[in-house]
Chain A
Amino acid sequence: AAGVIQSPRHLIKEKRETATLKCYPIPRHDTVYWYQQGPGQDPQFLISFYEKMQSDKGSIPDRFSAQQFSDYHSELNMSSLELGDSALYFCASSMDRGYGYTFGSGTRLTVV
């Protein structure tokens, strides 16, 4: 069965650089979520999209932005990267409320 695809798997950036993470949801899933998981922490919600519109916003820094495209894939854009942005970034998708999440394998971002 198709899963949630995230790219790249690993990314190393320097401080103040920009990064773009991509997420391809499961076909026919209309909602995409982004989560950030720091070392030893539980995942923290960043932002979600339903039918290409932002539906909910969590603890996403102003330096970050995201969007969902017509093919339902989503991109998380991160600018002016800081050391503290180093984390695992997960994308998840769902079909509808109550159907639960399916997570991608994540992108490990390291800011040096």
Chain B
Amino acid sequence: KQEVTQIPAALSVPEGENLVLNCSFTDSAIYNLQWFRQDPGKGLTSLLLIQSSQREQTSGRLNASLDKSSGRSTLYIAASQPGDSATYLCAVPNTGNQFYFGTGTSLTVIP
């Protein structure tokens, strides 16, 4: 069974800092990896989808990288803002496209 781990579990940074969230997975035979954002009590918003053939994807201040062979992905957030405060989840699918979610990183950006 795929196991997904995210480090750190919680992160608090002052506004304007660049930060990196880490995701590791045990089974490298993945089709893709997806990063989500979740605000408290709310739904999951897709941030970036990286196909297994890609090494990174960028969207605005977000950049996600994927190293499939080592089972790792990172989400880089540049110039963090208070509005970035949320829980960030990475997820990888199994062969049936069922996603396994990481435990999440709770980010707080302090104004």
B15-47 residues at the A interface, CB under 8 angstroms: 31-32, 34, 36, 41-46
B29 nearest CB across to chain A (Å)? 13
A50 nearest CB across to chain B (Å)? 8
A50-79 residues at the B interface, CB under 8 angstroms: 55-56, 58
A83-112 residues at the B interface, CB under 8 angstroms: 88, 90, 92, 94, 97-106, 108
Residue A45 contacts which of B31, B41, B42, B99 (CB distance < 8 angstroms)? B99
Bound-complex Cα distance A44 to B71 (A): 21
A27-45 residues at the B interface, CB under 8 angstroms: 31, 33, 42-43, 45
Contact bitstring B72-98, A, C-beta under 8 A = 1, else 0: 000000000000000001010100111
Q: Are B98 and A56 in contact (CB under 8 A)?
A: yes
Bound-complex Cα distance A48 to B96 (A): 9
User: Do most interface residues of chain B lie in helix, strand or loop, or is the interface mixed?
Assistant: strand
Bound-complex Cα distance A108 to B32 (A): 29
Q: Are B34 and A58 in contact (CB under 8 A)?
A: no
Count of residues in B whose CB is under 8 Å from the partner chain: 24
Q: Are A98 and B98 in contact (CB under 8 A)?
A: no
Count of residues in A whose CB is under 8 Å from the partner chain: 24
Residue B97 contacts which of A48, A103, A108 (CB distance < 8 angstroms)? A48
Q: List 20 A-B contacts (CB under 8 A).
A: A33-B97, A33-B98, A42-B102, A43-B44, A55-B97, A56-B96, A58-B98, A90-B44, A92-B44, A92-B99, A97-B31, A97-B97, A98-B32, A100-B32, A101-B34, A101-B91, A102-B46, A103-B36, A106-B43, A108-B41
With A48-B96, A56-B98, A101-B44 given, name 5 new contacts (CB 8 A).
A33-B98, A43-B44, A92-B44, A100-B32, A101-B34
Which B residues have a C-beta under 8 Å from some C-beta of A?
Answer: 31-32, 34, 36, 41-46, 49, 51, 89, 91, 93, 96-104
Which A residues have a C-beta under 8 Å from some C-beta of B?
Answer: 31, 33, 42-43, 45, 48, 55-56, 58, 88, 90, 92, 94, 97-106, 108
